[in-house]
Chain A
């Protein structure tokens, strides 16, 4: 059976025009707060937060290494990445996959429970993460306000 590639091409153009008319928005869930290890006292700008989660800012002001961890519950994850990193979740995942498959970076640590994120930040010097606003922060972890 031989398919006419030209006809298929025309068909895809028509389908693409139809799909261009479809706009799907997704609702964003509850608010996010950013947490750091208790020793971290650096003020953080929006740009700093973005660069940290893109792996471009790797040190605190005292030269201590930054260790960030991702909370992967989808609504919170999506909201944080959109608001602070200014990428969609898909674009952000691809950003790190590119690093993994070109050898230029390692996939970030990820947890799907906020208690795991808080625990990681608590026991890791230089750590930073984000959790839902409703999540209770324990001792050894500091919630930060961005500049």
Chain B
């Protein structure tokens, strides 16, 4: 096996930081932080997110951010991010977030620029491996959704409201627009529904989140929602739609109208143990319209009714060692949870258990080992499994990460 160039760079950076004391860098009052990680994925039966059947190192990411505080209540910053996971990312550098943050008072602050979406417990930190126990977050945060709900451009307001005997509430509201690349994870997901996205055009995008901290130590509950309208130009590809949705292509327009994602979440921290649960729903209507001039125009509507939830527990045993596990379920069509309308019924669900061990070798260097048992093929991509998706998959993940 030969080492790829990104892997060699990663090992070099890792070596430099291990022999030095990795901590934040400060240059001309600009604070510089970053992280880099390299993972390994191995699965049996199905390929999951990449060609994992024979093991793959196509699983890495890195980020660097720059922030400067101009006044105690005003700072500006940006973060560059790159990743590779199977066919997605390919180590292209992207602007992850970049905004100005002005906090008028405790009740009200403003953000302007490209802002991470505060959706659920972990959406805004989904790329930051060091902040959690798990390597893969549950399917509520399935990787294909990253491009759609990671960040948006716009104006945000936020704040914290303290009550006498009711605890406190954090709120955040974002309004703006967003761009989705045609080679994003969302495109890969649509491929399995029979359309090959050429170009996305997202109009209005909005997001709101409310988190309540009641007068019970360690408890937080919340709700968040994302809304946007999306148009896309697409072509029919080799993965056929179910018969009732078959469109004799080749050119179609694809519209995702009134697309809404809601999540309810709860987290309870008891000393070193953290319990978390989230229930997320996706709702909307996919309108598919043929554009080819030589065929009769056809308009088809496909309702989106996706539900997913998980329960998780993590336990920090020592400064060095932490472990955790979760059980998660994903139904692409919650009106058909048993997959009765599908050619293979197990394509109607994805049920997953995961166990993870995390080792904090130093404050900056982390190693994780994780296994998953997956039942169902709802999140297995047919394009990754040309010989057909099988019902059960075991997955082993290893990841080494460094942050400063």
Residues of chain A whose beta carbon lies under 8 Å from any beta carbon of chain B? 2-6, 8-9, 12-13, 15-16, 19-20, 22, 24, 47, 51, 56-59, 63, 65, 67, 86-88, 90-91, 93-94, 97-98, 100-104, 106-107
Given contacts A6-B44, A86-B218, A94-B131, contact A103 B116 (CB under 8 A): yes
B355 engages A86 (CB within 8 Å): no
B355 engages A16 (CB within 8 Å): yes
B271 engages A88 (CB within 8 Å): yes
Given contacts A4-B44, A24-B317, A103-B77, contact A59 B105 (CB under 8 A): yes
The answer to the question of B346 belonging to the interface, with a C-beta cut-off of 8 Å to chain A, is: no
The CA of A103 and the CA of B55, in the complex, are separated in Å by 35
A106 engages B128 (CB within 8 Å): no
- Chain B residues near A16: list those with CB within 8 A: 323, 325, 355, 357
The answer to the question of B369 belonging to the interface, with a C-beta cut-off of 8 Å to chain A, is: yes
Given contacts A9-B371, A56-B106, A58-B105, contact A102 B125 (CB under 8 A): yes
Q: Is the interface of B mostly helix, strand, loop or mixed?
A: strand
Which of A3, A65, A91, A102 has most chain B Cβ within 10 Å?
Answer: A102
5 closest A-B pairs by beta carbon, nearest first, are A9-B371, A5-B394, A5-B396, A65-B72, A6-B394
- Chain B residues near A15: list those with CB within 8 A: 357
Q: Give B395 Cβ to nearest chain A Cβ, in Å.
A: 6
A107 engages B355 (CB within 8 Å): no
Nearest A residue (CB) for B372: A9
- Chain B residues near A102: list those with CB within 8 A: 97, 116, 124-125, 128
The answer to the question of B338 belonging to the interface, with a C-beta cut-off of 8 Å to chain A, is: no
Nearest A residue (CB) for B71: A65
A90 engages B316 (CB within 8 Å): yes
B67 engages A19 (CB within 8 Å): no
- Chain A residues near B125: list those with CB within 8 A: 98, 101-102
The CA of A44 and the CA of B103, in the complex, are separated in Å by 22
B53-102: which have CB < 8 Å to A? 54-55, 63, 65, 67, 69, 72-73, 75, 77-79, 97-99, 101
Nearest B residue (CB) for A93: B363
Q: Give A6 Cβ to nearest chain B Cβ, in Å.
A: 4
Identify which of A4, A6, A12, A67 contacts B72 (C-beta below 8 A). Answer: A67
The answer to the question of B33 belonging to the interface, with a C-beta cut-off of 8 Å to chain A, is: yes
Q: Give A34 Cβ to nearest chain B Cβ, in Å.
A: 20
The CA of A13 and the CA of B65, in the complex, are separated in Å by 37
The CA of A86 and the CA of B217, in the complex, are separated in Å by 8
- Chain A residues near B355: list those with CB within 8 A: 9, 12-13, 16
The CA of A6 and the CA of B317, in the complex, are separated in Å by 25
- Chain B residues near A107: list those with CB within 8 A: 24, 31, 33
A12 engages B131 (CB within 8 Å): no
- Chain A residues near B357: list those with CB within 8 A: 12, 15-16
A100 engages B67 (CB within 8 Å): yes
Given contacts A9-B372, A16-B357, A98-B125, contact A103 B99 (CB under 8 A): yes
The CA of A65 and the CA of B103, in the complex, are separated in Å by 11
24 sampled A-B residue pairs with Cβ under 8 A: A5-B396, A9-B355, A12-B371, A16-B323, A56-B106, A56-B162, A58-B106, A86-B217, A87-B269, A90-B316, A93-B363, A94-B130, A97-B131, A98-B128, A100-B33, A100-B67, A101-B33, A101-B128, A101-B131, A103-B65, A103-B78, A103-B99, A104-B101, A106-B31
The answer to the question of B187 belonging to the interface, with a C-beta cut-off of 8 Å to chain A, is: no
A91 engages B319 (CB within 8 Å): no
- Chain A residues near B373: list those with CB within 8 A: 6, 9
- Chain A residues near B31: list those with CB within 8 A: 100, 106-107
The CA of A13 and the CA of B128, in the complex, are separated in Å by 25
Which of A8, A57, A88 has most chain B Cβ within 10 Å?
Answer: A8
B113-152: which have CB < 8 Å to A? 115-116, 124-125, 128, 130-131
Which of B98, B319, B321, B372 has most chain A Cβ within 10 Å?
Answer: B319
Identify which of B79, B160, B369 contacts A103 (C-beta below 8 A). Answer: B79
Nearest A residue (CB) for B395: A5
- Chain A residues near B394: list those with CB within 8 A: 4-6, 9
- Chain A residues near B162: list those with CB within 8 A: 47, 51, 56-57
The answer to the question of B290 belonging to the interface, with a C-beta cut-off of 8 Å to chain A, is: no
B323-372: which have CB < 8 Å to A? 323, 325, 355, 357, 363, 369, 371-372
The CA of A106 and the CA of B369, in the complex, are separated in Å by 31
Given contacts A12-B371, A101-B33, contact A106 B317 (CB under 8 A): no
Q: Give A14 Cβ to nearest chain B Cβ, in Å.
A: 10
- Chain B residues near A87: list those with CB within 8 A: 269
Nearest B residue (CB) for A126: B72
The CA of A15 and the CA of B237, in the complex, are separated in Å by 46
B33 engages A5 (CB within 8 Å): no
> 0/1 per residue, B32-48, Cβ < 8 Å to A?
01010000001110000
A106 engages B69 (CB within 8 Å): yes
Q: Give B319 Cβ to nearest chain A Cβ, in Å.
A: 7
The CA of A13 and the CA of B325, in the complex, are separated in Å by 10
A5 engages B101 (CB within 8 Å): no
